[in-house]
Amino acid sequence: MTTAADNSTRPQRDWTAMLTVPAVAYLAVIYLMPLVWLLTKSVSGPDGFSIEPFMHFFSDPYSWRVMTNTVTIAVGVTLVCLIVGYPVAFALAWSRGIVQAALLVAIILPLSIGVVVKAFAWQIVLRRDGIVSQILVGLGIWSEPQRLLFTETGLILGAANVFLPFMILPIYSVLKLIDPHLREAGATLGASPLYTFRHIVLPLTLPGAVSGIAFVFSMSVSMFVIPSLLIGDRFQTLSTLTGRSFLLMRDERLGSTTAVVLLAIAVAIVLASTWISRRLGGRS
Amino acid sequence: MTASANFLRVNAARKSFGQVLVLGGVDLAMPRGELVSLLGPSGCGKTTLLRIIAGLLAADGGTVRLDDRDITTVPPHKRDVGVVFQSYALFPHLTVAENVAFGLAARGRPKSETAKTVARFLDLIHLSDFAGRSVRMLSGGQQQRVAVARALAVQPKLLLLDEPFSALDRKLRETMQIELKRLLRELAITAVFVTHDQDEALVMSDRIAVMNQGCIEQIAHPLTIYRRPATPFVLGFVGLSSRIDGRIAAQSGGEVAIDTAYGRIAARANFAPGTRAIVAVRPERLRIGGDGLANSIAVRFQDLAFQGSKALLHFDAGPSEQILVETADLAADSLKAGAEVTLSWAVEDTLVYPGPGEGAPS
């Protein structure tokens, strides 16, 4: 941050940084202050500063189960989004005119539908006599109808549905910047389409995939409403546990501890993905 | 190896995009080692033809043969046809050496051989010191050379270049043209070169194919293209010319006499008397003064464009006509606007084309 004094010798002051004042003020009140409160709360015992809540949290096997649940679900959601979203980004980037517009609407429009509304749709789709179960039985993959609702698989499928656009769009935006002649150049140099994909297209889309992964992972690691609606109390993640601690158990200490652990995981992901992107970007 | 005139042979290549006919049955035949330019205005189909030869675009009809093999339906990566793209299309995530090595690696050549070939081509383009650099750090001219080296490193049977100099400034462009021509000669590369720049085509080519509206209007040695343009389009597209409207007055033994607003002009051509015709002369073939040359006209001087080593003199002419004289004699700038001047030229320098609404010469 530059201060006005730094620039006093310059003939012209640069006021560009002032443009961020509303955003900074907003975030300070809405985000920074509660965060500081939360962090303080997580390290304060009855006699002042204490890391005892963390010691207690990490020594409890139940905490580890919750953390494993959280990360497993997030990894699953991210993988489903990557596998489904990566090809879609290509379809979006390489299609033209009305087809492209239709694809874009199909990807963006569901974002405007609330998660609660979607959750009810999934309840219909994922229940024992729902369409997914019927199809799998029809195909002979399942011997008898099963319920996907209130299972981990159901949660992963539902969450991936919500977060898919956040995987597609960063990959699409990187793809759009790739000179279409690069693939042709690969072909005229004697590279098969597969070789060209492996050595040109894939490396150039990696930064997009990394930011997509970071988006989806950090959102699914901290989602609260979707697991509450799709799996219920039986299965706890860090954010549902945080919510329960504050809202139901009135245990602010546990709540702020789990919140800070979750925050640490999210920050680690953001830092790691930024670092990976930089490295990939440095090469490309 | 016989110097077959059919090393590359494109037969009746046709292509339309929707309702628009881009290529209307083009034929092109080239011997091994030749450098042919496709010259024409944008939209004439030259890039489309190039892409069809490369296999990057499927033609609606016609065939492409290369080195006695029908490659019409062969995918681009199995054609052995290299391309230098207008945007260069260098792989931005790879270094200079990795770009040049790409084609060799894709063909699974042994590493030691690849390294040797890459070193040789980097040396040829004077970029050995840049081998480990990212291609993004290079200037436009350097990128262009890397694109050429990358395409040549796999030793393709045919090299296609799509306006490879268009992104460079004029001075650099002229240096690169000479440099590339020398390189292609040295390696005995057969190449097709797309350009809209007539000077570039004249400098680079063994033969120029002038294209217009999806057809090749004329394909010939650059000197022939300039001296004896086959059609009014070629005349107008390559170089400057003086043009006068007229009507054939008489024809005998391969010579015609043409009546124009400036008097009777003689030319070597075969046209039926009575047909309308356009008489044309290249500006540097016109002399100021009588000189005893066969054709002469009296015209009024209009103004002068000084171009350094030469000057272009403009004279009064009819609405669809143009009278230009190029001269290195700069005493000509003593001419006053409106002064009456006699211009003369030889019969063999006189070009005749059918006038508007007339068919081709009989």
In a domain, A35, yes or no: no
Backbone angles phi, psi at B290, to 5 degrees: -75, -55
In a domain, A27, yes or no: no
- Give B210→chain A minimum CA distance, Å: 25
Integer Cα distance of B63 and A267 in angstroms: 60
Mean pLDDT computed over every residue of chain A: 88
Residue B86 has pLDDT above 70, yes or no: yes
- Closest CA in chain A for residue B92: A284
Structural domains for chain B? 3-235 (3.40.50.300), 240-245+279-354 (2.40.50.100)
- Give A187→chain B minimum CA distance, Å: 4
Choice among B1-5, B174-178, B306-310 with the minimum mean pLDDT: B1-5
Taking the CA atoms of A181, A183, A184 and A186 in sequence, report the sign of the dihedral they define. positive
Highest mean pLDDT (candidates A29-43, B108-122, B318-332): B108-122
Backbone angles phi, psi at A189, to 5 degrees: -90, 0
In a domain, A43, yes or no: no
Is there a contact between B234 and B63 (Cβ–Cβ < 8 Å)? no
Mean pLDDT computed over every residue of chain B: 91
Q: What is the DSSP string of B74-105?
A: S-GGGT-EEEE-TT----TTSBHHHHHHHHHH
- Give B89→chain A minimum CA distance, Å: 5
Is A204 near chain B, with CB under 8 Å?
Answer: yes
Pair of tokens at residue B201: 């085509």
* Helical (H) or strand (E) element with A143: none
Is there a contact between B36 and B192 (Cβ–Cβ < 8 Å)? yes
State residue B309's pLDDT score: 85
Integer Cα distance of B350 and B280 in angstroms: 6
In a domain, A283, yes or no: no
Residues in chain B: 362
Q: Per the structure, how many domains does chain A have?
A: 1
> What is the ipTM metric for this complex?
0.85
Integer Cα distance of A61 and B211 in angstroms: 79
In a domain, A95, yes or no: yes
Quick check: B76 and A187 CB within 8 A? yes
pLDDT digits (tens, 9 = 90+) for B130-182: 999 999 999 999 999 999 999 999 999 999 999 999 888 888 888 889 989 99
In a domain, A261, yes or no: yes
A42 Cβ contact partners less than 8 Å away, ≥ 6 residues apart = A53, A54, A253, A256, A257, A259, A260
In a domain, A25, yes or no: no
Backbone angles phi, psi at A3, to 5 degrees: -100, 165
State residue A118's pLDDT score: 87
Indicate the DSSP class of residue B64: E
- Mean pLDDT (whole number) for A198-206: 94
Is B167 near chain A, with CB under 8 Å?
Answer: no
- Closest CA in chain B for residue A280: B93
Q: Which domain holds residue A132?
A: 51-278
Integer Cα distance of B10 and A282 in angstroms: 44
Quick check: A186 and B102 CB within 8 A? yes
In a domain, A165, yes or no: yes
State residue B1's pLDDT score: 42
Give contacts of A195 with chain B, Cβ < 8 Å. 106
Quick check: B103 and A187 CB within 8 A? no
A101 Cβ contact partners less than 8 Å away, ≥ 6 residues apart = none
Question: Among all chains, which residue has been given the structure tokens 């006038």?
Answer: B355
Is there a contact between B288 and B341 (Cβ–Cβ < 8 Å)? yes
Per-residue pLDDT band for A281 (boundaries 50, 70, 90) equals low
Count interface pairs A-B at CB distance under 8 A: 74
Domain with A88 in it: what CATH number? 1.10.3720.10
